[in-house]
Amino acid sequence: MPTIASAPRVRPDVVEQYKAFEPPIAFRGMLEELLDSVPANYLVGLKTIVLTNQKALGRDQKRQKTWSRNHMIRLADALDWSNRATRTTSASVFLLVDNIRRSEQSGMQGIPILRYEALGTVLFHEIGHHIHAVHKPVFKQREDVAENWSKKLFVRFIRKRYGYLVPFLYPFGLIHRLLTKSAKSYPRALRQIG
């Protein structure tokens, strides 16, 4: 009896364009693991993910600026940016690997569950922009929507990759949320007292 071949995994092409830079050995493998955790239907329309560094940017790109929340920053100083699809070009995501590596807290690469945090947050944020623009438009602030998608996709990755740790991570997540909430309300309580 013939077997039915499963459909190939939809994944954007990963292109590496570095200049005078050697990326970390496991970086591309980590990126592919993160991409595999994203539901395939959300990646439809995203053609390319470009891994690059500051020196590989062209002169015009180095001077170009992009919005980051409420202010403009140079592309060379950003961790990532994306280009939406147009009639003539397809959607793409650019990741500045050297900037992402510099943004990591020291010692994170040695802890298996935390080594994905910097790359995962950045990658899933840009995929969140793509989902918002193409698949699930929501009438909220773009950055807030991308942040929400980033968190959802990262939690999905952790559950898929480290599912056996979820019972242990849940109490830590609960404590983190409580501490964050109390830290936000603490200044408000001081203003009311004073």
Please check whether residue 5 lies inside any domain of the structure: no
Shared domain check, 115 and 189: no
Please check whether residue 193 lies inside any domain of the structure: yes
Range with lowest mean pLDDT among 43-57, 119-133, 157-171, 177-191: 177-191
Please check whether residue 94 lies inside any domain of the structure: yes
Q: HSE, CB side, 13 Å, CA atoms: give it for residue 18.
A: 13
Local confidence band at 89 (pLDDT 50, 70, 90 cut-offs):
confident
Quote the pTM value: 0.79
Query: Does the pLDDT value for residue 60 go beyond 80?
Result: yes
Shared domain check, 58 and 73: yes
Query: Does the pLDDT value for residue 161 go beyond 80?
Result: yes
Please check whether residue 1 lies inside any domain of the structure: no
From CA 153, how far away is CA 111, in angstroms rounded?
20
CATH code, 129: 3.40.390
Shared domain check, 85 and 118: yes
Please check whether residue 122 lies inside any domain of the structure: yes
CA-CA distances (angstroms) from residue 97 to 11, 126, 192? 19, 14, 45
Local confidence band at 174 (pLDDT 50, 70, 90 cut-offs):
confident
Average pLDDT for 152-174: 81
Local structure of 47: helix, strand or coil: strand
Q: Please give the pLDDT value at position 32.
A: 94
With a pLDDT cut of 90, the percent of the chain lying above it is: 33
Please check whether residue 104 lies inside any domain of the structure: yes
Local confidence band at 136 (pLDDT 50, 70, 90 cut-offs):
confident
35 versus 138: which is more confidently predicted?
Answer: 35
Shared domain check, 125 and 53: yes
Shared domain check, 153 and 128: yes
Shared domain check, 190 and 128: no
Shared domain check, 151 and 57: yes
Please check whether residue 7 lies inside any domain of the structure: no
For residue range 98-112, what is the model confidence (pLDDT) as tens digits? 999 988 877 777 777
Residue 50's domain spans which residues?
13-161
**Number of domains within the chain:** 2
Q: Please give the pLDDT value at position 194.
A: 47
Please check whether residue 3 lies inside any domain of the structure: no
